[in-house]
Amino acid sequence: MADPRPAQGSPGFLGAGLRALPAGAGLRIERVIPNSPAHRAGLVVGDVIVLSQGVAPGSVEAFTTSVRAAGSGADYAIVVRRGVRRVPLRARLEAPPEAAPQGGLRVGQSPPALGASTVVMGTDPVDLSQLRGRVVILDFWASWCGPCRMMMPVLSQMAERYRAQGLTVLGLTDEPVEVARSVGMRLNIRYTLVSNAVAMQSYAVHNLPTMVVVDRGGHIREVTVGTESPGALTRTIERLLAEPSP
């Protein structure tokens, strides 16, 4: 098994949203982040990755792990199927985007209302005013986002472990209900998943995954872009759970 640690000190980042095709037919490009390594390498929406570093890419999670392990600065070889042609491309990987607040979100402010939402799985209320007194993780994700899907089982374990102490996790996606439900069932998610067409815009979310942590008083305490280590997230949640309710 390949060493999952990045070779260059910082994990690699490509900047493409992927969806696995049936029967191992490859990974379809669903989104290309502007000015990302994927964009500069010439990847376009609709391309299907059939080889990465000379081998089949496997699942979205396996491909994401391979990119991260290659490390920032790596010259990453990709072959895509574009129509009837196979096109070889090379991407110079970069470090993931910095974990910085998105858009107008600022620590200490009250989060925007989520607006019209459809609960896909779970029983938690989606109206944040009804969650006052609890610590809330808002996890913005998509089915094509490999790092999102790698983080979701971690959040599921945290939701179960700390629910009785006052933690609520809401997973927010702008994808259709049936897509979100399929991912939730496949990953055996134990927190509430929500389909919401406008939440990412109102929270100015541009990169996935993005997590917004809200304290018992209803104020934003942390905004994280990209995956966060389970240990760091656990420490944050335990600190906020220890604070008194307003």
Q: What is the CATH number of the domain that holds 47?
A: 2.30.42.10
Identity (one letter) of the amino acid at 23? A
Q: In this predicted structure, what is the pLDDT of residue 144?
A: 84
Q: Is residue 38 part of a domain?
A: yes
Same domain, 65 and 151: no
Q: What is the pTM of this model?
A: 0.69
Considering the chain, what is the average pLDDT of its residues? Answer: 88
Which percentage of the chain shows pLDDT scores above 70? 93
Kindly report the backbone phi and psi dihedral angles of residue 37, in degrees, each rounded to the nearest multiple of 5, phi listed first. Answer: -55, -35
Residue 16 β-bridge partners: 32
Asked if the model's pLDDT at residue 160 lies above 50, the reply is yes
Cβ neighbours of residue 85 under 8 Å, at least 6 residues apart?
none
Same domain, 220 and 180: yes
Q: In this predicted structure, what is the pLDDT of residue 53?
A: 96
Q: Is residue 217 part of a domain?
A: yes
More confident residue, 156 or 68: 156
The total of structural domains in the chain comes to: 2
Asked if the model's pLDDT at residue 98 lies above 90, the reply is no
| DSSP class per residue in the chain | ----S-TTSS--B--EEEEEPGGG--EEEEEE-TTSHHHHHT--TT-EEEEETTB---SHHHHHHHHHHH-TT-EEEEEEEETTEEEEEEEE-BPPPP----TT--TTSPPPP--S-EEEE------GGGGTTSEEEEEE--TT-HHHHHHHHHHHHHHHHHGGGTEEEEEEESS-HHHHHHHHHHTT--SEEEE-SSHHHHTT--SSSEEEEE-TTS-EEEEEES---HHHHHHHHHHHHTSPP-
Asked if the model's pLDDT at residue 77 lies above 90, the reply is yes
Q: What is the CATH number of the domain that holds 231?
A: 3.40.30.10
Tens of pLDDT, residue by residue over 104-150, are 577 888 999 888 899 999 999 999 999 999 999 999 999 888 889 88
Decide which of 44, 74, 92 is a domain's last residue.
92
Q: Is residue 53 part of a domain?
A: yes
Q: In this predicted structure, what is the pLDDT of residue 64?
A: 86
Tens of pLDDT, residue by residue over 175-229, are 899 999 999 999 999 999 999 988 888 888 877 889 999 999 999 999 888 777 8
Range of the domain at 61: 16-92
Same domain, 185 and 219: yes
Strand order in the sheet with 16-20: 16-20, 27-32, 48-52, 75-82, 85-92
Asked if the model's pLDDT at residue 171 lies above 60, the reply is yes
